[in-house]
């Protein structure tokens, strides 16, 4: 029996200078250890319709330069699909914009982070509940992750379990139910992706009191965060 493919919901494009590395779904697929034939990509930002969820083992939602608070039609339609999929028990993983969109879909609050832009290789601290989580169990209590965002989940959905925080963000990861996760950080980013984003966002980093050159120098590998994508794939296949 052929295993069901993974749906990658594409919500945006990398900066032009990073597109030589491919689009977000490619970055995610490589980090997750999935072959091209094991994924189906739907570009919702460009108006492509979301398919029947029953055709897929799971869905992964990419990051985006868009803002959930803009309530774009494509974004709200995607939120409706994610809400129904979450309640139906489809394994879901939202990354950055996807994390925020999933939280919004399930009744959480998304807005600009009062602490300002978070960029570069950051330190994640796991909440006690992470010890019993299917994706986070066994990981170090504190580890590196890649992040670049202005908006965040200010309030997780009702009933959700917050799994990780950083110095600037109290909800860097959550689980809703037993099959849906949001990650504010980017497990698919390698160091060259992260440095590229720091360079592209240098002016914004400066406006928020940071120094892009220093942030770029401090970028380092984040293997524990990257491992979460393969853990999600394994969990979804076993569900």
Better pLDDT: 28 or 19: 28
Kindly state whether residue 175 falls inside one of the protein's structural domains. Answer: yes
Please state the pTM of the whole predicted model.
Answer: 0.97
Question: 10: how many CB neighbours lie within 10 A of its CB?
Answer: 22
Structure tokens at 33: 């250890």
Please report the pLDDT score of residue 181 as a whole number: 98
Q: Which residue in this structure is represented by tokens 């590229």?
A: 196
Average pLDDT, stretch 79-108?
Answer: 98
Kindly state whether residue 167 falls inside one of the protein's structural domains. Answer: yes
pLDDT tens column, 146-182: 999 999 999 999 999 999 999 999 999 999 999 999 9
Q: How many residues does the chain have?
A: 239
Structure tokens at 93: 């993983």
Kindly state whether residue 1 falls inside one of the protein's structural domains. Answer: no
CATH number of the domain where residue 155 is located: 3.40.50.880
Sheet strands (E) in the chain: 6-10, 39-43, 58-61, 92-95, 109-112, 118-126, 142-149, 151-155, 161-165, 173-176, 180-183
Report residue 239's pLDDT band, with 50, 70 and 90 as the boundaries: confident
Residues labelled catalytic: 96, 186, 188
- 181 neighbors 135 (Cβ within 8 angstroms): yes
Kindly state whether residue 156 falls inside one of the protein's structural domains. Answer: yes
Q: Which residue in this structure is represented by tokens 């220093």?
A: 214
Domain span holding position 22: 6-238
């Amino acid at each position: 029996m052929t295993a069901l493919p993974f749906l990658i919901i594409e919500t945006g494009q990398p900066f032009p200078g990073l597109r030589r590395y491919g689009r977000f779904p490619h970055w995610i697929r490589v980090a997750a250890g999935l072959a091209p034939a094991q994924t189906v990509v739907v570009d919702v930002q460009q108006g492509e319709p979301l398919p029947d969820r029953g055709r897929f083992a799971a869905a992964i939602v990419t990051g985006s330069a868009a803002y959930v608070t803009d309530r774009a039609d494509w974004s709200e339609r995607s939120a409706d699909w994610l809400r129904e999929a979450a309640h139906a028990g489809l394994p879901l993983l939202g990354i950055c914009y996807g994390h925020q969109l999933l939280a919004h879909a399930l009744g959480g609050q998304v807005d600009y982070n009062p602490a300002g832009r978070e960029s570069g290789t950051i330190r994640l601290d796991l909440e006690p509940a992470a010890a019993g989580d299917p994706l986070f169990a066994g990981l170090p209590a504190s580890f590196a992750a890649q992040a670049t965002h202005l908006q965040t989940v200010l309030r997780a959905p009702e009933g959700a379990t917050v799994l990780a925080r950083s110095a600037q963000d109290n909800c860097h990861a959550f689980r809703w139910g037993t099959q849906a996760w949001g990650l504010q950080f980017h497990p698919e980013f390698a160091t060259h992706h992260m440095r590229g984003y720091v360079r592209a966002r240098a002016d914004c980093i400066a406006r928020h009191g940071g120094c892009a050159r220093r942030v770029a120098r401090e970028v380092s590998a984040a293997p524990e965060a990257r491992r979460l994508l393969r853990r999600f794939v394994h969990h979804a296949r076993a569900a």
